[in-house]
Structure 1
């Protein structure tokens, strides 16, 4: 009888212990649900970063496309203005061409390189001579190269050129305001009239003919004396 009772007690204890172990396993399972390990978290982070970079690239692309569109629109709007400028420039060039061609048909004009030269048939003072050139759309000749000096020498004329020191004694300038850099003076010139007491001031320059050296023909002279003159007409003289 006692053995039977003890056997029953043991069986009851096993059942209770089994139930307790099962309950503990359920508690453990419910309390600790499965979670991603470290590699899973890194994967999620990389996906998030990549998505953020794509968003930044998309924004940058949108901005670039907008800037390109704005530039193209601005260039398109400027096309009519550029076309009009070309038309104006073409008309100006045609006007200059017609003006020069008109000069070609007039007697007294000679062409050298890209310019035209007028040699007067009457004599005037230096100032009057320059005024005549200006009225012709030109100015007194500027000698800025050895080739031009030799061209003028070949004309064999005693004539005014566009060089003076009327503003400041000894500071020779051309009629366009540029200073004298290369000169072709006769020996002992300029002397400002020291050899002629009746004309003490010699502030204008003439070409002297009859010289035997092409690069030594300039002489300073009193501006009030009368000489023929040489006008020069180049594109930069045109208005």
Structure 2
């Protein structure tokens, strides 16, 4: 006896069948085999689809977890970068400040050496130059301007004491030439602290005394005297450091 086995495992014995019966049997067997094969293939497809869907769900879940972990990490990294940038900006600003401070100190040291070599005296943030010859008040003022300075402006007791101890009759930058009795410094600031000698200013013997000189009363704190601007005296220049 001969038979036929399809992929579903079914066996059909057709050896003893007549031709018409054999034909019907083969057709029926073929249809059943196709349905069985389709059933088997469809099951595998369903399993494959189901497995793929589960895998996608797992991947999606893993992606969601990764994103939840990555977002706080990214935010933390951004904050850290911002903090580092802020610190770097602060360090850069401090470095720039220190560089400017160094340059300013260097300039002051160079100025100090320059003026000290030329015989200028240093006191409380200013340099002072005492002339070795005599001139009128206006010529003395012009000389100071040529030196990048002004006739001395005395603003406090300490400065007056320093100048008085030089023990020299000198022009300073105080005058009332513009308006009689209204004393102003050469930088146009009004007189506030004054150190007039007793009885001064007085336009002695009705002379026009419009310029101020440090008088020879060196033992007295107050030793200013008004004098005629055409007189010849030493002078004192002052330059802020």
Out of 142, 145, 165, the residue aligned to residue 154 of structure 1 is: 165
Shift of 1:117: 1.5
Aligned counterparts of 1:78 and 1:212: Cα–Cα separation in 2: 54
Does the CA-based 8 Å contact 1:190-1:219 persist in structure 2?
yes
Contact map agreement 2:172 2:214 (CA 8 A) in 1: yes
1:94 corresponds to which residue?
A: 106
* TM-superposed deviation, 1:137: 2.1
Question: Structure 1 residues 86 and 127, CA, compared in 2 at 3 Å: closer, same or farther?
Answer: farther
Structure 1 position 105 matched with structure 2 position 105 = no
For structure 2, list consecutive stretches of 5 or more residues without a partner in the other structure.
Answer: 1-84
> Are the structure 2 counterparts of residues 196 and 168 from structure 1 closer, same or farther at C-alpha, using a change threshold of 3 Å?
closer
| Partner Cα separation in structure 1 for residue 112 and residue 91 of structure 2 | 32
Which residue matches 1:183? 194
Deviation at 1:122, TM superposition (A): 0.4
Q: If you compute each CA radius of gyration, which structure gives the higher value, 1 or 2?
A: 2
Check whether the contact 1:116–1:234 (CA below 8 A) recurs between aligned residues.
yes
Contact 2:128 2:237 in 1 (8 A): yes
- 3-state SS, counterpart of residue 165 of structure 2: helix
**How is 1:1-239 mapped onto 2 (pairs within 5 angstroms)?**
87=99, 90-107=102-119, 109-191=120-202, 193-197=203-207, 200=208, 202-209=209-216, 211=217, 213-235=219-241
| CA distance 1:86–1:165, change in 2 (3 Å) | farther
Q: TM-score with structure 1 length normalisation? A: 0.57
Contact 2:167 2:218 in 1 (8 A): no
Q: Distance in 2 between matches of 1:88 and 1:150?
A: 34
Mapped to 2, the partners of 1:82 and 1:176 lie a distance apart of 36
CA displacement, residues 167-226 of structure 1 (integer Å, 9 cap, x when unaligned) = 2221111122221111111111111x24154xx3x11100011x1642221111121221
Structure 1: stretches of 5+ with no match in the other structure = 1-72
Cα RMSD after superposing both structures: 3.1
**Count of residues paired in the alignment:** 165
Closer/same/farther in 2, CA of residues 90 and 166 from structure 1, 3 Å limit: farther
- Distance apart, 1:90 and its partner CA: 4.7
Shift of 1:100: 2.4
